[in-house]
Structure 1
Amino acid sequence: MNLQQLENVENELQFETFTNEDALSLGMTLIDYAKENNKALLREKNINEAKDRSL
């Protein structure tokens, strides 16, 4: 995948809105998937250029 293709994918995957409820629902779906498939999760949250990483 070249840079232009990556930018196109990034633009396509942007949320028009993203509420706290959306975040909770997405997070719970990821947790359920990880548990069912014995996978680990890594979360990175960027707000105003601050980064919070946790396992």
Structure 2
Amino acid sequence: MKLRLLELIRQEDHSRPLSDQKLAELLAEQGIRIARRTVAKYRTELRLGSAAARKRD
């Protein structure tokens, strides 16, 4: 699941990064039901910034 999250973030438009809520919705479309807070926890564990932080990079 963390790998799929990482793939989604790597594929996002860096000028408009995906929010944790949108990432959770995209994962749900792929059959992975996960809460927004869990997405945030996994994103932090992967040492990835928030949408706002990723936009600045």
Structure with higher helix content:
2
Structure with higher strand content:
1
TM above 0.5, yes or no, is: no
| Larger Cα-atom Rg | 1
Q: Which has the higher contact order (CA 8 A, sep 6+)?
A: 2
TM-score normalised according to structure 1 size: 0.30
TM-score normalised according to structure 2 size: 0.29
